[in-house]
Amino acid sequence: MHERTEPPAAPDAPPSPWRRAVLGSRRLWRWWALRDGRPRGPRARLVVDWIARLLLGLVALSVLVVAVLGVVPPPTTAFMVREGFVRDHPGGIRYEWVSSGAISGELALAVIASEDQRFPVHHGFDLVEIQKALDESGRRRGASTLSQQVAKNLFLWPGGWVRKGLEAYLTVLIETLWPKRRILEVYLNVAEFGPGVFGAEAASRAYFGKGASHLSRSEAARLAAVLPSPRRMSVARPSDYVRERQREIEEGMAQLGGTSYLEGIW
> Mind listing the pLDDT tens digit for each residue in 85-119?
767 666 689 999 999 999 999 999 999 999 999 99
Specify whether the CB–CB gap between 195 and 207 falls below 8 A: no
Q: What digits encode the pLDDT tens for the residues 193-222?
A: 999 999 999 999 999 999 999 999 999 999
Looking at the predicted structure, is the pLDDT value of residue 29 above 90? no
| CA distance linking residue 172 with residue 149, whole number of Å | 12
Tell which wins on pLDDT, 144 or 18: 144
Looking at the predicted structure, is the pLDDT value of residue 4 above 60? no
Q: What digits encode the pLDDT tens for the residues 55-78?
A: 899 999 999 999 999 999 999 999
**For 214, which DSSP code?**
G
Query: In the prediction, which pLDDT does 49 show?
Result: 78
> DSSP per residue over 114-155, as a string?
HH-TTTTTSSS--HHHHHHHHHSTTS------HHHHHHHHHH
Query: In the prediction, which pLDDT does 137 show?
Result: 54
Q: Mean pLDDT across the stretch 173-182? A: 98
- Verdict on whether the full-model pTM lies above 0.75: yes
Query: In the prediction, which pLDDT does 133 show?
Result: 72
